[in-house]
Structure 1
Amino acid sequence: MKISYKPLWKTLIDKNLTKKDLRLQAHLTTNHIANMGKGEHISMQTLIKICETLNCDIADVIALVPDNDP
């Protein structure tokens, strides 16, 4: 299984926010945003900050997908 951040990008669109807005509001680094854009892992602490900032559930930020999915 791997992590997909597609739910996060959809949540940002639904809330009319940009990645830059998220970075500034959640006090994330540009590396956090870049890593998520590449589908790389980020810490649970960072995921919690994102959920608190967006006032959403973890399922609105990440999804688990099988390794053979594109």
Structure 2
Amino acid sequence: MISYKPFQKMLIDREIKKTELMKRARISSATMAKLNKNEYVSLEVIDKLCEVLDCQPGDMMEYVKRSEEEESG
């Protein structure tokens, strides 16, 4: 599964508020909620965030192997 923990850490490290980022990247609160819950977001969203944050997609997300419990649940 894809985790956006690096994205969350980046916001904290750079002291960027989520509301400020939503305005600058022109993304909705629903999209921000998806990022907070490690749910699917489009590449268009990733593109917007990378532009605003001046980073690469790999700086914002990481692949985390699912445990067997998660796969069967």
CA distance in 2, matches of 1:22, 1:51: 11
The corresponding residue for 2:50 is: 51
Give the gaps of 5 or more residues in structure 2.
none
Identity of aligned residues (%): 34
Q: How does 1:1-70 map to 2 (within 5 A)?
A: 2-68=1-67
Structure 1 stretches of at least 4 aligned residues deviating more than 4 Å after TM superposition: none
Between Structure 1 and Structure 2, the one with more helix by share is: 2
Asked which structure has the greater CA Rg, the reply is 2
Alignment: residue pair count: 68
TM-score w.r.t. length of structure 2? 0.86
Give the gaps of 5 or more residues in structure 1.
none
The root-mean-square deviation of aligned C-alpha atoms, in Å, is: 1.3
